[in-house]
Amino acid sequence: MLEIKNLHVKVGDKEILKGLNLSLAAGQVHAIMGPNGSGKSTLSYVLAGRAGYDITQGTITYNGEDLGALAPEARAAKGVFLAMQYPVEIPGVTTMMFLKSALNAQRRARGEKELDAIGVLKIVRQKAATLNVSEEMLKRALNVGFSGGEKKRLEILQMKLFEPKLAILDETDSGLDIDALKLVAEGVNSLRDPSRAMLVITHYQRLLDYIVPDRIHVLAKGKIVAEGGKELAKELEAKGYDQIIKDAA
């Protein structure tokens, strides 16, 4: 589903990704682990199409299509979803109104029929219940005054609502206590599906106790330097990034 070959990405004048290779098949959950500054967030932004993250070399192919050539909204309509590390606060736009606008924008782009307010509310309510997202939260301005846990739960709610084909979770575990972490992991696990691929980006092994990946890639200095099965996470935890990166070299 996702094929990244020799990817080089510049942010401003600085090269952050320096020849990254990654292959992710439908039905698989892969984890990207790496120390701070290794390029994890850059990878997530470049996959979602953020302006200012320039591909200088290499390709990102998604279902046979050149992903790098598409606008962020076109990627969303084609099933790419990025759960962000820092969801933005947007005063003046209620969460419910945002969800309706986004869902209908995606449906419109795919040539599907738009849903009315009641139709959207019905779906949202049903998905929100399992994530402990209250009606009251949906009425508030998007992410404004939300706790860290509430913001991340809302990201997962959107993921359930949009039903993406490729879901990228950028440090979704950061700032979560253990209860919130379990809730988020349950949400992610409920979306595991043979037709869906997921890329879980994290600094810590902890999240991978709850979302067990099929494969782990270690990202350091803009490249994948080590790969392995789920046991690699334990090894990283025991030895630390420095040692694993040294071993790989």
In the complex, which residues of this chain contact another protein (CB under 8 A)? 48-51, 71-73, 75-77, 82, 84, 86-88, 90-93, 98, 101-103, 105-106, 109, 158, 162
Q: Give least dist CB 123 to another protein, A.
A: 15
In the complex with another protein, the residue whose CB is nearer, 49 or 187, is 49
Angle between helices 148-162 and 95-109 (to 10 degrees): 30
In the complex with another protein, the residue whose CB is nearer, 50 or 206, is 50
Q: Give least dist CB 92 to another protein, A.
A: 3
Q: Give least dist CB 42 to another protein, A.
A: 14
In the complex with another protein, the residue whose CB is nearer, 159 or 245, is 159
Contact assessment for residue 222 and residue 38, using Cβ atoms and an 8 Å cutoff: yes
User: Which tokens sit at 193?
Assistant: 């599906």
In the complex with another protein, the residue whose CB is nearer, 71 or 248, is 71
Angle between helices 231-239 and 241-248 (to 10 degrees): 110
Taking the C-alpha atoms of residue 213 and residue 164, their distance in angstroms, rounded to an integer, is 18
- The Cα-based distances of 197 to 31, 80, 133, 134, 229 in angstroms read 11, 10, 25, 28, 16
What is the DSSP track for 185-228?
A: HHHHHHT--TT-EEEEEESSSGGGGTS--SEEEEEETTEEEEEE
Q: Give least dist CB 162 to another protein, A.
A: 7
Q: Give least dist CB 100 to another protein, A.
A: 11
In the complex with another protein, the residue whose CB is nearer, 54 or 177, is 54
